Structure 1
């Protein structure tokens, strides 16, 4: 869980997550959206992958990244528990 929140603490990584919500993207397309060196973008993608927020698969000569929603759901559930929002939801449903 710590790695998820650490990964989400950086604005570039949050922007990558937002981009991937629309669907899988090639690493080159992700990198093109940022004005930074390729190794820096690769470092951000690696941090997201290590945190379990994205998965990567080879697609020809490039790598496609996709959002791994299960890690996002786990983090969201943790935050909802922390704030009591989950209890509020359960009270409304019951």
Structure 2
């Protein structure tokens, strides 16, 4: 199996409904563990650099406005884990 994106290992606080690490298998499992879990013969993900090349952007160019936080864990704004994250988790549980 080939996945056309990098593994999504970090929550997205900017509009995608993945607000906790618990929702994301790549946050706690290796590629091999994911392969075993889904029963695939093989599995490979696109790299972050490969994604940026594919969409014609440079990864290290901060002026391009491309958020990669769900792949890299590098958020474009500060995430307040003690104040924002508990609220996000609570909101996710009530949906």
Question: What TM-score, normalized to structure 1?
Answer: 0.26
- Structure having the larger proportion of residues in helix: 1
- Structure having the larger proportion of residues in strand: 1
